[in-house]
Amino acid sequence: MKIAILSREPNLYSTRRLVEAGRERGHEVDVIDTLHCYMDITSSRPTVRYHGEELPRYDAIIPRIGASITFYGTAVARQFEMMGTFNVNESVAISRSRDKLRSLQLLSRKGIGLPRTGFASKADNIKDLIKNVGGAPLVIKLLEGTQGIGVVLADTAKAAESIIEAFMDLKANILVQEFIKEAGGADIRCLVVGNRVVAAMKRQGAEGEFRSNLHRGGSAEIVKLSKEERETAINAAKAMGLNVCGVDLLRSHSGPMVMEVNSSPGLEGIETATNLDVAGKIIEFIEKNAKQNANRTRGKG
Ligand code: ADP
């Protein structure tokens, strides 16, 4: 098969591993820099051009689109879908997953376990917003944040009010969330491929840190999932329409709660912690599923 990886970073661990896993299995794999693709969308025959030439027909693309280029990256992925190329994660699903609030709404529609979450644009009902998610301590998150930046734990209702007011004053979009204390500063990253969890790791925050992000000094180890956790991760991926994703869960007294679904999950942390060939699983998924016009939306999104 002929596979293209849409990535700005050919040297990144995840990109390199996907290339390696594809070639090991006898496929032709190209890394295409997403921002250097350009498109002819006026013609009835959609194409993607790259460095002055039309790109060849690929059997499948693997979009690895960073949060900073979601708008252009999803447009490029959509163009491939219009051409009938199999896209592992459809552009609409990537767009959904990039909006934390929209994601939580979609997950809640499907009855998937979530921390109680509130969202408001005006500061006039802050007390009620706080009460609604169960009062302090609570977590306040910037909608645009990644890697744990902009995730704040407010110990008291007073502190929560001041933080919410300050963020709103800066016109930042935030959500207010029940604090899952019993998670103990840890979360579970489930790597879903198709309708299976192919690897899972537990990330533990550094001493005294409630955020488990590896970028914040957290550590990771392999973990065994319960049936309920496994099903929650798979259902979350389905609700988002993603074939390959990282589902982050918190272990709460009332069962697994989904925090986030990531459409371009990094492979380094999970492959290192679990010693599993996640890249290979992604290529195997493509082998089984890549057909012309096999995507659900085919660029309609
Ligand atoms: P980001 O997308 O920036 O990583 P997250 O929403 O994943 O932000 O939050 C970062 C970390 O903070 C999580 O991995 C988790 O360990 C912790 N965390 C986030 N929300 C909660 C919560 N409601 N209760 C307990 N811990 C939380």
CATH of the domain at 235: 3.30.470.20
In a domain, 96, yes or no: no
183 CB under 6 A from ligand 1? yes
Per-residue model confidence (pLDDT) at position 299: 67
- Report how far residue 140's alpha carbon sits from residue 151's, in angstroms, rounded to the nearest whole number: 6
Per-residue model confidence (pLDDT) at position 88: 97
84 CB under 6 A from ligand 1? no
In a domain, 170, yes or no: yes
Please check whether residues 168 and 206 belong to one and the same domain. no
Supply the residue whose CA is at minimum distance from atom 10 of ligand 1: 148
Q: How long, in residues, is the chain?
A: 301
- The answer for residues whose C-beta is within 8 angstroms of residue 254's C-beta and 6 or more apart is 113
Q: Which of 117, 201, 259 to mutate to test the pocket of ligand 1 (most atoms within 8 A of CB)?
A: 259
Per-residue model confidence (pLDDT) at position 294: 75
pLDDT in tens, the chain (301 residues): 999 999 999 999 999 999 999 999 999 999 999 999 999 877 778 899 999 999 999 999 999 999 899 999 999 999 999 999 999 999 999 999 998 899 999 999 999 999 999 998 887 889 999 999 999 999 999 887 777 788 999 999 999 999 999 999 988 888 999 999 999 999 999 999 999 999 999 999 988 889 988 778 889 999 999 999 999 999 999 999 999 999 999 999 999 999 999 999 999 999 999 999 999 999 999 999 998 777 777 666 6
Q: How far is the CA of 146 from the centre of ligand 1 (A)?
A: 10
Alpha helix locations (H) across the chain? 13-24, 70-82, 91-98, 100-109, 126-132, 157-169, 227-240, 268-274, 278-289
In a domain, 71, yes or no: no
Please check whether residues 157 and 201 belong to one and the same domain. no
Containing domain of residue 223, as a range?
182-275
Please check whether residues 144 and 175 belong to one and the same domain. yes
- Report how far residue 103's alpha carbon sits from residue 238's, in angstroms, rounded to the nearest whole number: 12
In a domain, 211, yes or no: yes
Comparing CA positions, the residue from 11, 15, 27, 30 lying closest to residue 285 is 27
Supply the residue whose CA is at minimum distance from atom 2 of ligand 1: 146
Supply the residue whose CA is at minimum distance from atom 11 of ligand 1: 211
Per-residue model confidence (pLDDT) at position 228: 98
Residue where a domain terminates, one of 179, 203, 231: 179
151 CB under 6 A from ligand 1? yes
Q: How far is the CA of 299 from the centre of ligand 1 (A)?
A: 32
176 CB under 6 A from ligand 1? no
**Residue 187 annotated as part of some ligand binding site:** yes
Please check whether residues 151 and 208 belong to one and the same domain. no
Name the residue type at position 32: I
- Report how far residue 151's alpha carbon sits from residue 246's, in angstroms, rounded to the nearest whole number: 19
Please check whether residues 205 and 164 belong to one and the same domain. no
CATH code where residue 139 lies: 3.30.1490.20
- Report how far residue 62's alpha carbon sits from residue 55's, in angstroms, rounded to the nearest whole number: 15
211 CB under 6 A from ligand 1? yes
φ, ψ dihedrals at 207, nearest 5° = -50, 130
Per-residue model confidence (pLDDT) at position 301: 64
In a domain, 291, yes or no: no
In a domain, 190, yes or no: yes
148 CB under 6 A from ligand 1? yes
**Residue 33 annotated as part of some ligand binding site:** no
260 CB under 6 A from ligand 1? yes
Q: What is the pTM of this model?
A: 0.94
In a domain, 258, yes or no: yes
What is the crossing angle of helices 100-109 and 227-240, to 10°? Answer: 120
The minimum-distance atom of ligand 1 relative to the CA of 186 is: 16
In a domain, 267, yes or no: yes
Is there a contact between 60 and 80 (Cβ–Cβ < 8 Å)? no
Is there a contact between 25 and 280 (Cβ–Cβ < 8 Å)? yes
Is there a contact between 213 and 57 (Cβ–Cβ < 8 Å)? no
Supply the residue whose CA is at minimum distance from atom 6 of ligand 1: 259
Number of structural domains in the chain: 2
The minimum-distance atom of ligand 1 relative to the CA of 212 is: 16
Per-residue model confidence (pLDDT) at position 298: 67
